[in-house]
Structure 1
């Protein structure tokens, strides 16, 4: 690496070092947490054989986690248990990090200064790609070292960490290409999230029905590598080739587009705002597209999962003893808990994403301009909180209704409590988290990271509480866990009432706070 390129690489690390380390650290924590749980829960061959014949043969688990191979080994169980979180967290983190590295500095005009200094148009993009590749390599090295400490075989650990790194680079390169295609960073982020969701849904449909087309998306390549047994070469080659081709295409587009522009030019808007947008209704104008995207994601998730209800019933009839795996509950009820739980997580993410838009408006100075009109600070806060809650409710309703229709059509059993009722019940803790987010924004905006930390913990409890064997007190830190796992369990109305009261108190505290000094404007 020559001097100028090394300088750009160093500049990228100085500007985005925290993000370049935070995502690999989160991925490593996931891999090692599951490694620890695997070693403690399945320490010998007998327990692993029992795992392979029960959990490993579950159609529900394959739907969420992907195909499982070599499940009589600790490494195979580790890869299977990383499952859904690995299939979502790694691509999302890699994609969002790539968009941030590609667009943040360029939007501020810094890349224009760098390009004018003789570095070339593609040099900053190439430096960002190199920095992300180095960040991904750190994740692989840290995970490999951790797996060795837990006693996993070195050969399998090396192959597993390699395929994870290549898997992350595929989505990072795809996001880099999308970042060259779409000028706006927010639009690029929405596009990469849609791409990740599309890949996951296609993979879920293939694995849930045990079709042979696992090659159709990169998410199918991850499990097909089979690093803990007789490995296959083609998934490694496919990931490496796809990442290289997408990165080359991104650099080619970067070379021909204008700085600050994109391959697809945005359509100019109207010069003046419509009358109905004026006032606090501009909140709807700013957030409607993202709200529609989250609703579409919930629909696309819930419909195919619910359509598998009849297959789950047939599978349960063919395996009478499988009910013990789900604590005596019907497998379809267990699937409903997982499906509606993910709908709840989507609703929570949608509400928090809408609330986060308010921080962007403040940083840009536009919130100060709006508050200087007759709207006022309190009016804007009320409108934004209402929009966040309505967005979460729309996502929950879309997913819950789609799941109810699809599972009812596939099984002939129209049970409201398994979908719509459970989704409605989850809205209470979701609104409580949103109310807390607005209270944080009003009183301690610098503590916003705590809001996302709580959301991440809610996701961990919802999806990994049992595999990680989390203690009961840790699970109760999630508001969604407190209301009960409907329809497998009866709802806890006392806890629901307490969470609802907390939501009301936090909402009043947030929207009626005295105006503080804004960051800009």
Structure 2
């Protein structure tokens, strides 16, 4: 088992550097940004009052505990540190289980004296080491920035505990689903839903009289994010919610071992969908083949878009009620929405999230082209009259359809949210269409840039594509909070996309986004004509 563990650690060395190092750097950067932007207690008190009055902010931040520098930092960044740990862990768990089975490596290892159990145990220990290292570096980053030791330790342990929880979710997904892609999608959606559940639980919580602290609603306790947020580092420093998260994570890991004992190697608890005896007419074209390979993923992203759009308009009445009950912070809320109504602000915030989902959908589909190339399956297709340019164009076209489906699902969800109200304001639907269209253009930028990387540096396609989405999300969503210069914030396509304000529609960076799409798309297709296929070596 030691040999297997060393192999996993060596294989994931750069993953550790990128994920764990990036998480620790984000923690340190947040403390620096808070000191620079909210250095006085008055600034922190005002922002916490705004958050207590605005459920939308509570959906995307942590749990307010006090205006102390440490607790305020935890409110801003703890859920996102935990989310980075969760994604890292889920992807690693699937990589060393279901993905290895897909590639045939697990069968070779099982034929040795290691058997079937030792590789899984080594994978579980690998996850423990990764998240323990992340917890330690996050705590050290906070300590180095001058925050109290106990709260720093609780924040680090909370991030690591939630990471190991996600590792357990990934291990379960690897046992249940028949492919690495399905297992990864399962892990991502479980953690995103858990994040949303905790956010809603916090938004429905009870604020204190001074608006500096919120008591979570019971719903938050159904999410691991709710557990670590209720540890309240630098305020209460409760370790028992962190211990609860770690205990459930250990239970998931143990369950994965039990599930592996009841299935055959290479199989899954959920059998693969039976294929038809004869191919449909759609599979007579390469475009139809790409659609057949990717439509389940598109459906999943479209459902995520629908839920986001539904929440965007469903919360409008809640926001208006909050402003009525707390007029002392109404001016602050109006500032957050750039002079627009609170309902419009909810649409802008949620549809920015929709833009991220649409970008993820597009990058995933173009990344699928790279996976087909690396596995050698595209060679059979290119042996037919289908050329390399047509092959790439098909993936870009289906990725565009996927991004459109995600945004379209959000717009339909916004309409459904309005239809469910007793006195809907249908002007909000027009705002949703405008912001959604802008975010669709932003998502196209990620699609063509990923396609361009595929033609120039094919082996870096997935890493660069997902890294760009992550950076744009951090800069676009957190940049204004950290008071970064506008020109830096608007480098993120989701922040430069057209939006609505109190004075109407602001096209912002629409024209450079359109230019980037046209130039990037044309360049990727032109360069694809001149390069050879690149394998996985």
Task: Give the structure 2 partner of residue 45 of structure 1.
Answer: 41
Answer whether contact 1:323 1:331 (CA < 8 A) is retained.
no
Identify the match of residue 31 of structure 1 among 27, 33, 56. Answer: 27
CA distance in 2, matches of 1:102, 1:79: 33
Answer whether contact 1:102 1:125 (CA < 8 A) is retained.
yes
Identify the match of residue 220 of structure 1 among 217, 226, 246. Answer: 226
Answer whether contact 1:388 1:434 (CA < 8 A) is retained.
yes
TM-score between the two structures when normalised by the length of structure 1: 0.92
1:256-405 equivalent positions in 2, closer than 5 A = 256-280=262-286, 281-326=288-333, 327=335, 328-405=339-416
Match of 2:218, SS? coil
Identify the match of residue 444 of structure 2 among 419, 431, 435. Answer: 431
> Residues 55 and 215 (structure 1 numbering): CA distance in 2 closer, same or farther, change over 3 Å?
closer
Between 37-46 and 60-69, report the one with greater CA deviation: 37-46
Match of 2:385, SS? coil
Task: Give the structure 2 partner of residue 145 of structure 1.
Answer: 140
Task: Give the structure 2 partner of residue 452 of structure 1.
Answer: 466
User: Cα distance, 1:301 vs. partner?
Assistant: 2.6
Identify the match of residue 440 of structure 1 among 447, 453, 457. Answer: 453
Answer whether contact 2:37 2:482 (CA < 8 A) is retained.
no
Task: Give the structure 2 partner of residue 168 of structure 1.
Answer: 163
Task: Give the structure 2 partner of residue 255 of structure 1.
Answer: 261
TM-score between the two structures when normalised by the length of structure 2: 0.90
User: Cα distance, 1:382 vs. partner?
Assistant: 2.1
CA distance in 1, matches of 2:396, 2:236: 53
Answer whether contact 1:303 1:402 (CA < 8 A) is retained.
yes
1:34-113 equivalent positions in 2, closer than 5 A = 34-69=30-65, 71-82=66-77, 85-86=80-81, 88-113=83-108
Task: Give the structure 2 partner of residue 204 of structure 1.
Answer: 199
Task: Give the structure 1 partner of residue 488 of structure 2.
Answer: 474
CA distance in 1, matches of 2:11, 2:278: 37
Answer whether contact 2:472 2:493 (CA < 8 A) is retained.
yes
Identify the match of residue 241 of structure 1 among 232, 236, 247. Answer: 247
Match of 1:174, SS? helix
CA distance in 2, matches of 1:489, 1:349: 31
User: Cα distance, 1:198 vs. partner?
Assistant: 2.3
> Residues 499 and 54 (structure 1 numbering): CA distance in 2 closer, same or farther, change over 3 Å?
closer
User: Cα distance, 1:515 vs. partner?
Assistant: 4.3
Match of 2:323, SS? helix
CA distance in 1, matches of 2:109, 2:522: 48
Answer whether contact 1:401 1:420 (CA < 8 A) is retained.
no
CA distance in 2, matches of 1:408, 1:79: 37
Between 396-405 and 124-133, report the one with greater CA deviation: 396-405
Match of 1:257, SS? coil
Q: Which runs of 5+ in 2 are unaligned?
A: 206-216
CA distance in 1, matches of 2:272, 2:375: 20
> Residues 138 and 370 (structure 1 numbering): CA distance in 2 closer, same or farther, change over 3 Å?
same
Answer whether contact 2:99 2:179 (CA < 8 A) is retained.
no
User: Cα distance, 1:355 vs. partner?
Assistant: 0.8
User: Cα distance, 1:493 vs. partner?
Assistant: 4.1
Q: Structure 1 residue 519 and structure 2 residue 534: aligned?
A: yes
User: Cα distance, 1:241 vs. partner?
Assistant: 1.6
User: Cα distance, 1:57 vs. partner?
Assistant: 4.4
Match of 1:419, SS? helix
> Residues 102 and 14 (structure 1 numbering): CA distance in 2 closer, same or farther, change over 3 Å?
same
> Residues 421 and 144 (structure 1 numbering): CA distance in 2 closer, same or farther, change over 3 Å?
same
CA distance in 2, matches of 1:489, 1:27: 38
Q: Structure 1 residue 13 and structure 2 residue 19: aligned?
A: no
Identify the match of residue 412 of structure 1 among 397, 421, 424. Answer: 424
After superposition, give the CA deviation of every residue in 1:189-231 in whole Å (9 maximum; x if it has no partner). Answer: 1111221232223223322223333211212112111222224
User: Cα distance, 1:188 vs. partner?
Assistant: 0.7
Identify the match of residue 500 of structure 1 among 504, 514, 535. Answer: 514
After superposition, give the CA deviation of every residue in 1:468-490 in whole Å (9 maximum; x if it has no partner). Answer: 22222321322232234434575
> Residues 258 and 17 (structure 1 numbering): CA distance in 2 closer, same or farther, change over 3 Å?
farther
CA distance in 2, matches of 1:490, 1:282: 43
Answer whether contact 2:62 2:77 (CA < 8 A) is retained.
no
After superposition, give the CA deviation of every residue in 1:349-390 in whole Å (9 maximum; x if it has no partner). Answer: 101111111101111222221122122222222222111111
Answer whether contact 1:94 1:171 (CA < 8 A) is retained.
yes
> Residues 359 and 403 (structure 1 numbering): CA distance in 2 closer, same or farther, change over 3 Å?
same
RMSD between aligned residues: 2.3
Q: Displaced runs of 4+ in structure 1, greater than 6 A? A: none
